[in-house]
Amino acid sequence: MQVCLFLIGTSDAPQPLTDTPALLRAATQVAGLRKLIVHEPIAGQVDVRLAPAADAPSCVLQWYFDELATLEAALGSDGAIVHALHAASGWAAISPRAFSQQVMAVRAFAPRQAASVEDGAQRCTYLVAYEGVAQDFNAWLTHYLAHHPPLMLQLPALRELEIYTRIDSRSGLPFAHSSAMQRNKVVFDDPGALTAALASPVRDAMRRDFHALPPYSGATPHFAMRSIYGNLAAS
């Protein structure tokens, strides 16, 4: 099972990333990195049921590795990921307020319309975080994985589906640690395809299943993002 580092840009980030191509180039020097996805917020409303969030992150960076040990090796205070961030921004020093961080296990599912993406390709992603707590997390996750992905996989024109669960890890990055109980993403070709999927009857079935889940309390922010892919396998 792959692991993924989420770097979540704060909505009022003092040092926003400004050079995505430079970041993707620098990421090729991160040993063991399999994929980097840069998510940037989309203006306007794509979900007919939810207004755009006022506190959307300035960006979200997803760094994928095959092994936790390899990821941790890149997370040193003077490690490869810090060097990639410097290369992309020109920062003399990285502000601890620029991002929050969380390492999670990746549970990937294969939609019928799945298609590979080329390096530098763009798609549209809906990121969801479960930031609260479940009364019984084992019961929550058992129900969720058994019932929710089969519904999500029915979303029209769905290209990717991933569900992330928290794991413990060590990091030398200066950013605060997020502790989302779970994260999800669904991916489409463009905002129009995402909007159509979220307005479909499948979304109604997903809402019914959400309300059937074991007790949970807390925020569940949803963010529509433009996603830029760097598919790499650094040596």
Amino acid identity, residue 126?
A: Y
165 near 108, Cβ under 8 Å? no
Average pLDDT of the chain, as a whole number: 91
Q: Where are the domains of the chain?
A: 3-231
Residues of the chain with pLDDT under 70: 13-16, 92, 233-235
- Any idea which fold 3-231 has? Alpha-Beta Plaits (3.30.70)
Instruction: Please state, in angstroms and rounded to a whole number, the distance separating the CA atoms of residues 212 and 18.
Output: 42
Residue 231, SS3 per DSSP: strand
In DSSP notation, 56-122 reads --S-EEEEEES-HHHHHHHTSTTSHHHHHHHHHH--SS--TTSEEEEEEEEEEE--TT-----TT-E
**What's the whole-model pTM score?**
0.94
Q: Compute and round to an integer the Cα radius of gyration of the chain.
A: 17
Could you give the percent of the chain with pLDDT greater than 90?
A: 75
